Amino acid sequence: MKERLRNLLENSYSPTYNYYVASIIECKDGKIFEGVNVETSSPASWNMC
């Protein structure tokens, strides 16, 4: 699992804060979801959460 997370980090994008995040969630039914953070420096997105 750790190696899989390290590979996911390659898709994370954080040029401003250099805070790279990857996550893997496995549900009770066995489904697996993967995700990474993608940072944007656009002022239009600053009010989005």
The separation between CA 41 and the C-alpha centre of its own chain, rounded to angstroms, equals 16
* Longest distance between any two alpha carbons in the chain, whole Å: 40
Q: What is the pLDDT of residues 7-29, one digit of tens each?
A: 999 999 988 888 999 999 999 99
Band (pLDDT 50/70/90 cuts) for residue 48 is low
- DSSP structural state of residue 13: B
Q: Which residue has the higher pLDDT, 44 or 25?
A: 25
Q: What is the dihedral of CA 13, 14, 19, 22, to 10 degrees?
A: -10
HSE toward the beta carbon, residue 41, CA cutoff 13 A: 6
Q: How do the domains of the chain map onto residue ranges? A: 2-40
Q: Is the pLDDT of residue 4 over 60?
A: yes
